[in-house]
């Protein structure tokens, strides 16, 4: 009986696998089609300096699926990465975000995430240069976010690329800091402008003394290395004041502002400009 049961489980497991594979395949076809029809969207999440002024926005891809609703990037970015779709997708996000930011009535920056596959392409520099030319965005307003996993693949090549990007006048930020393996080595080997401390640390800083010790050390160390520090995923006032008190340069999180569509950003920037004029 036990054997029979075991067999049944295997079958169930296999048909479960088939379903998963089919679903993934369907999703891939849908993503390809959505890209072709320009159905993806870019949302923008504000970043603030210590005085509460907006320093810029991070571009975050969104996929409003006609049947499945809004699909989060955590589901389709890995899929796009595995299927190579990330190259056209990433370029589309970059172009869209730069063109939108070029139209903003404020001198704020726009941050765009780069995935490992994009980073490995030999033509990345040319793509970035061309997008800047086409959109008219000043390179000093563009910031590219890369992750450690991405740099680990081929260190000398990654290093050369980061240098080339900075030579264009573009800033480079190390994203999700603390989730990789060789964080310290990367920090001093690469000419980054900024470190973004991962949300998984930030959401623990007010109730886990070890998490705070790590974040506090990252702030001190980054400043000694002449790097700016951004905290991502700030959700409470207590987290915000702790970070501000310790000189964290830039804040990002739902407490301060959620990712929002383009139209809402334009309004936010307008009200910013109006307040500056008034005061």
Write out the residues near ligand C2E by the rule CB under 6 A. Answer: 45, 60-61, 72-74, 77, 90, 93, 113-115, 145, 175-176, 199, 232-235, 252-254, 259
Q: What share of the chain is helix, strand, coil (3-state, %, to 5)?
A: 55, 20, 25
Going by C-alpha positions, the residue among 246, 189, 188, 241 that lies closest to residue 214 is: 246
**Nearest distance in Å: CB 228, ligand C2E:** 16
**Which of the choices Mg ion, ligand C2E, none does residue 60 contact, using the CB cut-off of 5 to 8 A by kind?**
ligand C2E
| Enclosing H/E stretch for 98 | helix 86-102
| Binder among 175, 186, 212, 269 for Mg ion (CB under 5 A) | 175
**Nearest distance in Å: CB 199, ligand C2E:** 6
- Are 262 and 44 in contact by the 8 Å Cβ rule? The answer is yes
Residues 6+ apart with CB under 8 A from 35: 85, 88, 89, 92
From residue 91, alpha-carbon distances to 62, 109, 237 in Å are 14, 18, 36
What are the backbone dihedrals phi and psi of residue 201, each rounded to the nearest 5 degrees, phi first?
A: -85, -45
Instruction: Name the DSSP letter for residue 193.
Output: S
Site for Mg ion in 131-150 (CB under 5 A): 145
**Nearest distance in Å: CB 74, ligand C2E:** 5
Going by C-alpha positions, the residue among 86, 40, 96 that lies closest to residue 63 is: 40
Judged by beta carbon, residue 30 or residue 145, the one nearer ligand C2E is: 145
**Which of the choices ligand C2E, Mg ion, none does residue 93 contact, using the CB cut-off of 5 to 8 A by kind?**
ligand C2E
**Nearest distance in Å: CB 198, ligand C2E:** 7
Q: Outline where DSSP puts E strands in 66-215.
A: 69-71, 109-113, 142-146, 171-177, 194-197
**Which of the choices Mg ion, ligand C2E, none does residue 30 contact, using the CB cut-off of 5 to 8 A by kind?**
none
Judged by beta carbon, residue 89 or residue 187, the one nearer ligand C2E is: 89
| Binder among 96, 113, 135, 230 for Mg ion (CB under 5 A) | 113
**Which of the choices Mg ion, ligand C2E, none does residue 139 contact, using the CB cut-off of 5 to 8 A by kind?**
none
Q: What angle do CA 203, 204, 209 make, to 5 degrees?
A: 155
Judged by beta carbon, residue 255 or residue 266, the one nearer ligand C2E is: 255
**Which of the choices Mg ion, ligand C2E, none does residue 77 contact, using the CB cut-off of 5 to 8 A by kind?**
ligand C2E
Q: Tell me how far apart the alpha carbons of residues 90 and 186 are, in angstroms, rounded to a whole number.
A: 24
Let me know how long the chain is.
279
**Which of the choices ligand C2E, Mg ion, none does residue 259 contact, using the CB cut-off of 5 to 8 A by kind?**
ligand C2E
**Nearest distance in Å: CB 36, Mg ion:** 25
Residues that bind Mg ion (CB under 5 A): 113, 145, 175-176, 196, 198-199, 232
């Amino acid at each position: 009986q036990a054997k029979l049961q075991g067999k049944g489980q295997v079958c169930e497991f296999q048909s479960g696998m088939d379903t998963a594979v089919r679903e993934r395949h369907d999703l891939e076809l849908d993503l390809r089609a959505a890209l072709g029809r320009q159905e993806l969207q870019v949302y923008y999440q504000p970043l603030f300096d210590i005085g509460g002024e907006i320093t810029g926005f991070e571009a975050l891809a969104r996929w409003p699926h006609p049947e499945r609703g809004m699909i989060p990037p955590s589901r389709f970015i890995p899929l796009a990465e595995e299927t190579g779709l990330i190259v056209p997708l990433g370029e589309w996000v970059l172009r869209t975000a730069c063109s939108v930011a070029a139209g903003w009535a404020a001198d704020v920056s726009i941050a765009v995430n780069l995935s490992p596959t994009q980073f490995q392409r030999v033509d990345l520099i040319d793509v970035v240069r061309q997008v800047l030319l086409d959109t008219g965005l000043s390179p000093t307003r563009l910031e590219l976010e890369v992750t450690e996993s991405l740099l680990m693949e081929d260190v000398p090549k990654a290093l050369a690329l980061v240098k080339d990007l900075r030579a264009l006048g573009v800033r480079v930020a190390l994203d999700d800091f603390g989730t990789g393996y060789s964080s310290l080595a990367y920090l001093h080997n690469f000419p980054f402008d900024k470190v973004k401390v991962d949300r998984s640390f930030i959401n623990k800083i007010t109730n886990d003394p070890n998490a705070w010790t790590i974040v506090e050390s990252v702030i001190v160390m980054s400043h000694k290395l002449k790097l700016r520090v951004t905290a991502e995923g700030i959700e409470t006032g207590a987290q915000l004041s702790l970070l501000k008190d310790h000189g964290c340069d830039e804040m990002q999180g739902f407490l301060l502002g959620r990712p929002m569509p383009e139209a809402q950003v334009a309004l936010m920037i307008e009200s910013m400009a109006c307040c500056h004029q008034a005061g």
